[in-house]
A = this chain, B = another copy of it.
Amino acid sequence: MTAAEPGSIGELGEFALIAKVTEGLPAHAQVLVGPGDDSAVVAAPGGSVVISTDVLVEGRHFRRDWSTPVDIGRRAAAASLSDIVAMGARPTAAVVAFAGPADLPAAWAVSCTAGLRAELEQLDVALVGGDVTSADAVMITVTAIGDLDGRDPVLRSGARAGDRIAIAGRIGWAAAGLAVLSRGFRSPKKLVDAHRYPTPPYSAGLLAAHSGATAMIDVSDGLIADARHIARASAVVLAIDSSLIEVPQELASAASAYSMDPREWMLTGGDDHALLATFPAQVKVPSSFVVIGQVQVIAEAGAGVTVDGHFVTGAGGHEHFRG
């Protein structure tokens, strides 16, 4: 923080910037010591803590000319919160490391943090600390923690033959939005917004855990890629029936305009932070989930993902899926 552009974070300096971005933080019952000491202290009533960290880098994960600072802050928070929720846990608090160029407008940093705070507040998650430094590009690392309230976590490794595979939340929307932006367009707004910030089905995570989900994952790499993570961890086959995946009108229209198959976005696009879970045959799948297939054990095939009976190899991306 050496530059002194008027209104920049370099001019403001580290401590004044921290004061600005933490201004008016609401009280949270779970926070025993909030920002301002060497560390924060957060209640862990369940006797364990769930923790996950995610980093967003300018030019890799977002562009400042495509997304507002509020969008980027929301997205940074959502990526970590979604990982906590995917364990069947209740997110409680987060810390953020923010790096940016000294000439970055302080208003940008404040808006970005406002977006991050708003996303956290949706789930009553407290921002309890952070670090601020200068760097050539904006980089935001959010580490979230959560509590299981004494329950067992829902892992990737618990899927069993006969379980139903179900998904909550949107898939393919962020990929469609990126396709739109990459072609120089700014609409349809609903798609573009889906790229700018996800709207993870947070409440579905706890519902799944309470309903007896055997495995769960945050879909951040793409449906097939993340289904494969469950398949491998559980040593099973996740058999997806694509006829159970309804293509939303918005995706169908955009894909048609670009002569693309919308199912490509839905099967391989990441960043929507849907939740993919497996449920035993005897339990009621929560209504926020849509069943899209079944867990199988195919002795000679090992672990993997099939779509409509065909094994999908490779990364699950466009070409691989077609092959």
Contacts and interface: CB of A to CB of B under 8 A. Distances in A.
Contacts of A217: 38
Chain A, interface size category, equals 35 or more
A153 interface: yes
Contacts of A45: 47
A131 interface: yes
User: Which of A42, A50, A141 has its CB near the most chain B CB atoms (within 10 A)?
Assistant: A141
Contact of A135 (B49, B60, B148): B60
A133 B233 CA distance: 23
A38 B200 CA distance: 14
A57 B86 CA distance: 30
A48 B57 contact: no
A57 to B, nearest CB: 5
B53 A143 contact: yes
Interface string A108-149: 000000000000000000001111011111010101011010
A51 interface: yes
Given A38-B86, A41-B49, A218-B38, A61 B136 contact: no
Interface of A: 32-33, 36-55, 57, 59-61, 82-84, 86-87, 89, 93, 95-97, 99, 128-131, 133-137, 139, 141, 143, 145-146, 148, 153, 155-157, 216-218, 233
